[in-house]
């Protein structure tokens, strides 16, 4: 008797598996975006997760390129390394013997203007960058206005930037200088990236 029941259960499972039709997505990121929007985000909203931890993920968080965060002490060559990698400078870049990079700069690929077809290179201020949901920086708005005044996005047409976004950071200061001179927590910003 036990054997017949087991066979019937297995047969029902076989029928259920054959009728199972998994969803197909174009990419991993589109599948993750779908799962987050349909399954996880409603749970986060129900339990008020966004009030306690971080804002909800936006489309830009899923569709963005990987971030390369260049971190180190001041005047060790972070910006020079980026210049070497790109084989040219980027808008807003400054290199000197003293600490010259005083803000976080996201170096991203410039898109062509739909009307003219020209690539528009330039600098976008931090408050505009975090308000743009197509970019992966919306969570940085919670750090505060002092930080937003030290954030910018440098748009540049370059083949390397088609597959990665580079973040140039100000130099790491020692001890209490880290908190006193900046007006925001450097480590908190690093965690958000």
Q: Is 193 buried (19+), middle (13-18) or exposed (0-12) by CB count in 10 A?
A: middle
Dihedral (Cα; 70, 71, 77, 78), 10-degree rounding: 30
**What does the block give as tokens for 148?**
């937003």
How much of the chain is helix, strand and coil, in % rounded to 5?
45, 15, 40
The span from the CA of 92 to the CA of 100, in Å, is 11
Work out the percent of the chain whose per-residue pLDDT is above 70. Answer: 76
99 or 27, greater pLDDT: 27
The span from the CA of 145 to the CA of 162, in Å, is 30
Task: Name 190's Cβ contacts closer than 8 Å, sequence gap at least 6.
Answer: 69, 71, 169
Which has the closest alpha carbon to 154: 108, 120, 192? Answer: 108
Q: What is the rounded average pLDDT of the residues 105-111?
A: 88
168, containing H or E segment: strand 165-168
Residues of the chain with CATH 3.40.50.300: 60-192
Determine whether domain 60-192 maps to CATH 3.10.105.10.
no
Q: What is the rounded average pLDDT of the residues 113-127?
A: 78
pLDDT for res 28? 82
pTM of the model: 0.70
* Cβ–Cβ under 8 Å, residues 79 and 95: yes
Residues paired with residue 105 on neighbouring β-strands, in sequence order:
152, 168
As a three-state string, the secondary structure of 66-117 is CEEEECCECCCCHHHHHHHHHCCCCCCCCCCCCCCCCCEEEEEECCECCCCC
Residues paired with residue 109 on neighbouring β-strands, in sequence order:
156
pLDDT at 108 over 60: yes
pLDDT tens digits for range 124-166: 998 898 888 888 888 888 888 888 888 999 998 888 998 899 9
pLDDT at 113 over 80: no
């Amino acid at each position: 008797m036990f054997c017949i029941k087991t066979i019937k259960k297995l047969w029902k499972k076989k029928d259920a598996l054959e009728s199972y039709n998994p969803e197909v997505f174009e990419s991993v990121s589109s599948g993750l975006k779908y799962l987050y929007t349909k399954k996880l985000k409603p749970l986060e909203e129900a339990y008020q997760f966004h009030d306690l931890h971080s804002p909800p993920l936006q489309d830009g968080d899923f569709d963005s390129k990987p971030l390369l965060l260049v971190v180190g002490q001041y005047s060790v060559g972070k910006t020079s390394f980026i210049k070497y990698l790109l084989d040219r400078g980027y808008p807003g870049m400054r290199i000197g013997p003293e600490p010259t990079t005083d803000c976080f700069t996201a170096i991203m690929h410039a898109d062509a203007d739909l009307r003219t077809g020209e690539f528009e290179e330039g600098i976008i201020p931090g408050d505009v960058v975090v308000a743009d949901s197509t970019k992966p920086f919306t969570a940085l708005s919670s750090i505060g206005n002092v930080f937003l005044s030290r954030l910018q996005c440098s748009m540049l047409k370059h083949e390397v930037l088609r597959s990665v976004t580079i973040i140039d950071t100000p130099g790491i200061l020692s001890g209490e200088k880290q908190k006193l001179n900046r007006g925001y927590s450097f480590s908190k910003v690093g965690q958000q990236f």
